[in-house]
Amino acid sequence: MIKKRGGDFGKQRILPIIAGSIAPPITGALIDWYSTGLGYSDYTPAMFLSVAVLLVSAALVIRLRFTVEHTENRMAADLKRLMTKKEVNALLILAFALGTNWGFVSTYLFPFLKTLEAPNSVMGMALLVGNLFSVPVIFIGDRIVGKFGCHTIFITAFFVYAFREFIYTFFR
């Protein structure tokens, strides 16, 4: 649909990023408010909010009218051709390593913050801050890659993850 209407996929990603920035602090505050006096965090508001958003989204998707273009069924041949290229394999290894770091942070950051007795609203703010940095990059990403190149971007990403995880070690 984006290609058909002349859009830019990268810029289409801005709304999910904004939503992913706004929803966690609000949900964290709701959880803190709902859990006041309980002695533990009750995540019921997060579950109800999630179900509500999913139901509204489902209602909107039902109203969408779009078609899927069918292409030649050469997927296996194209995949085999791609997997024999060293550059593609190197990219996949780098993406796997960066994804592993992302998975590590997204899996263990919040239990770590919980051991520090951080309120849920602070955890929501952590997502807000992290996501806000990606919004301007969406608009200038092409220029950044054009100026510095893919290699520099990957190396920078590795160092940023390492720095971020190093900084977390000082939280106690």
pLDDT in tens, 46-104: 899 889 988 998 888 888 776 666 666 677 777 777 778 888 788 888 888 888 877 77
List the Cα angle 107/38/106 in 5-degree steps: 10
Amino acid symbol at 164? R
Residue 4 included in any domain = no
In a domain, 1, yes or no: no
Residue whose pair of structure tokens reads 């999910």 in the numeric block: 16
Res 141: pLDDT: 79
Overall domain count for the chain: 1
DSSP category for residue 36? T
pTM across the whole model: 0.56
- Quick check: 127 and 21 in contact, CB under 8 A? yes
Find where tokens 């190396």 sit.
Answer: 155
Supply the pLDDT for residue 70. 65
- Domain span at residue 65 reads 9-168
- Check residues 2 and 157 and name the one with the higher pLDDT: 157
Q: Which residue has the higher pLDDT, 31 or 105?
A: 31
CA–CA gap between residue 34 and residue 23 (Å, rounded):
16
In whole angstroms, how far apart are CA 75 and each of 83, 91, 95, 98, 162? Answer: 12, 19, 21, 26, 36
Over residues 155-170, mean pLDDT: 82
